[in-house]
Amino acid sequence: MNATQGIEMVREELESHWLPFTDNKSFKDDPRLFVKGDGVYLWNQHGDRLLDGCSGLFTSAAGHCRPEITEAVAKQLQELDYTPSFLRSHPRSFELANKLTAILPEPITKVFFCNSGSESVDTAIKMALQYHACRGEGHRNIFVSRHRAYHGVNIGGTSLSGLIKNRQGFNGTMPGVFHMRATWDPDQIFSKGQPLNRGPELADDLLTAIQTYGGNNIAACFIEPIAGSTGCLVPPVGYLERLREICDENGILLVLDEVITGFGRTGGAFSADTLGVTGDIMTMAKALTNGAQPMGAVGVKEEIYQTIVEAHPRDVVELAHGYTYSAHPAACAAGIATLEIYEKENLFQRAADLSEYFLDAIFSLQNLGAVTDIRGYGMLAGIDIATEDFPGKKGNLLQKRLFDAGLHIKTTGDAALISPPLVVEKEQIDDMCEILKQELSRL
């Protein structure tokens, strides 16, 4: 197959696959497929080259098809293709956990592996419940999250999520979830970096949850340090600090969902390094393996692990939870190779150094008619466009037109998300912005 020469697929070949988060009817009429990736570029089925403005789906931070990762995965599959992770494991799982804890914020000392961000969130929910139960506080079963949050699509994560579209039509969600307000505020419009206003005041929404349910009944507060999928909502100054303070005062676990913000996206390994607040539990996925293998992980503080493990006698399984593919050898090999690239190429620092240029370039689009707001932090930015007829109509049109013009990005409703691979060059950022300018101008 020579991908760059084009591959044609006829309609019948597209019928069996039900695509996720996709308008299947129109997709199958006019499919947008990728057939090849290399660095910051992807190729579609017609052989056209596109810039990847979203690192795949916030996954491919080191660029596509890195030979170091491909070779590590191939070698692993030849040596040992699978091992159960219940009562068994393999050396690479420990190697990856050690590499990961070396870059995780200090209080996080243990890592549990799963296969996606959604699984990491539901794992964290169960860990929080188990931790409190082991301390004799099994009554703590209320969870707090936010409007416009995205915590994946399993039932726990769907319940925590605050995106209307993702909740509509699913009535059987987990009870006992309190949603705080999202941090977006009209006063912050076109704020680059952390907005200055109302941080502690918005965080005090957690006090409302405490007043409603009692602080000693709340298990955990789940927060994306920067709300990613909803369009890059950067926390105002003082917001995360105040949440941390209220959690500590009330014995509530703070869970930071770093599925998007982890591995350099904010200009440091994790948001703790840039935004300055550490969770008791951290969820991760996506760039953990550079997207080359499905993998998620949950990092926990030593005390949480010890409490759960010590509450059980020897020879008894302590956490009755895990997946057939937890710590899959190929995913571990990909994770190790990925973390080595991040370290060798100093990519987290590169992201920090490039951030100003990237954000300035994106904010240069703010005077275009269709643009109603822009936000950004590190190497992540969101552009809101004016809604027309119904939410998402213009956003969907924009992502299609951008694709056809040579730029892949993600849209959520009428927000466009830009998060290029951390290996992107300044000229490639300029090229991305040129395409964005052209397509935003004709919306």
Ligand X SMILES: Cc1ncc(COP(=O)(O)O)c(C=O)c1O
The contact set with ligand X (CB under 6 A) reads: 116-118, 121, 150-152, 224, 228-229, 257, 259-260, 285
Q: Which amino acid is at 135?
A: R
Q: Closest distance between ligand X and the C-beta of residue 148, in Å?
A: 11
Q: Closest distance between ligand X and the C-beta of residue 151, in Å?
A: 5
Q: Report the residue number, 52 or 224, with the smaller CB distance to ligand X.
A: 224
User: Please, are residues 112 and 300 in contact by the beta-carbon 8 Å criterion?
Assistant: yes
Q: Report the residue number, 259 or 371, with the smaller CB distance to ligand X.
A: 259
Identify the burial level of 207 via C-beta atoms within 10 angstroms of its C-beta, where 0-12 means exposed, 13-18 middle and 19 or more buried.
middle
Q: Closest distance between ligand X and the C-beta of residue 136, in Å?
A: 30
Q: Closest distance between ligand X and the C-beta of residue 410, in Å?
A: 9
Write out the DSSP string of 301-334. EHHHHHHHHHTS-TTS-S-----TTTT-HHHHHH
Q: Report the residue number, 56 or 236, with the smaller CB distance to ligand X.
A: 56
Beta-carbon count within 10 A of 243 CB:
27
The secondary element (H helix, E strand) that includes residue 359 is helix 347-363
Residue nearest to ligand X (CB): 117
Q: Report the residue number, 135 or 181, with the smaller CB distance to ligand X.
A: 181
Q: Report the residue number, 55 or 191, with the smaller CB distance to ligand X.
A: 55
Q: Closest distance between ligand X and the C-beta of residue 253, in Å?
A: 17
Strand order in the sheet with 410-412: 371-377, 380-385, 415-418, 410-412
Whole-Å CA distances, 47 to 9, 33, 211, 402: 13, 10, 58, 16
CA distance 246 to 223: 14
Q: Report the residue number, 255 or 429, with the smaller CB distance to ligand X.
A: 255
Contacts of 378 (CB under 8 A, 6+ apart): 261, 264, 265, 266, 267, 274, 351, 352, 355
Q: Closest distance between ligand X and the C-beta of residue 215, in Å?
A: 25
DSSP state of 52: E
Q: Report the residue number, 35 or 259, with the smaller CB distance to ligand X.
A: 259
Beta bridge partners of 300: 110, 281
Rounded to the nearest 5 percent, the helix, strand and coil shares of the chain are 40, 15, 40
Q: Report the residue number, 121 or 125, with the smaller CB distance to ligand X.
A: 121
Q: Closest distance between ligand X and the C-beta of residue 116, in Å?
A: 4
Q: Report the residue number, 121 or 298, with the smaller CB distance to ligand X.
A: 121
Q: Closest distance between ligand X and the C-beta of residue 320, in Å?
A: 22
Q: Closest distance between ligand X and the C-beta of residue 309, in Å?
A: 26
Q: Closest distance between ligand X and the C-beta of residue 225, in Å?
A: 9
User: Please, are residues 242 and 200 in contact by the beta-carbon 8 Å criterion?
Assistant: yes
Q: Report the residue number, 92 or 265, with the smaller CB distance to ligand X.
A: 265
Structure tokens at 195: 């907005």
User: Please, are residues 110 and 185 in contact by the beta-carbon 8 Å criterion?
Assistant: no
Task: Match 């948001």 to its residue by tokens.
Answer: 271
Q: Closest distance between ligand X and the C-beta of residue 131, in Å?
A: 20
Q: Report the residue number, 259 or 354, with the smaller CB distance to ligand X.
A: 259
User: Please, are residues 258 and 298 in contact by the beta-carbon 8 Å criterion?
Assistant: no
User: Please, are residues 136 and 215 in contact by the beta-carbon 8 Å criterion?
Assistant: no
Q: Closest distance between ligand X and the C-beta of residue 62, in Å?
A: 18
Q: How far is CA 167 from the centre of its chain?
A: 18
Q: Report the residue number, 105 or 231, with the smaller CB distance to ligand X.
A: 231
User: Please, are residues 427 and 403 in contact by the beta-carbon 8 Å criterion?
Assistant: no
Q: Which amino acid is at 78?
A: Q
Structure tokens at 341: 């690239």
Instruction: Name the phi and psi angles at 129, rounded to 5.
Output: -65, -45
The secondary element (H helix, E strand) that includes residue 75 is helix 67-79
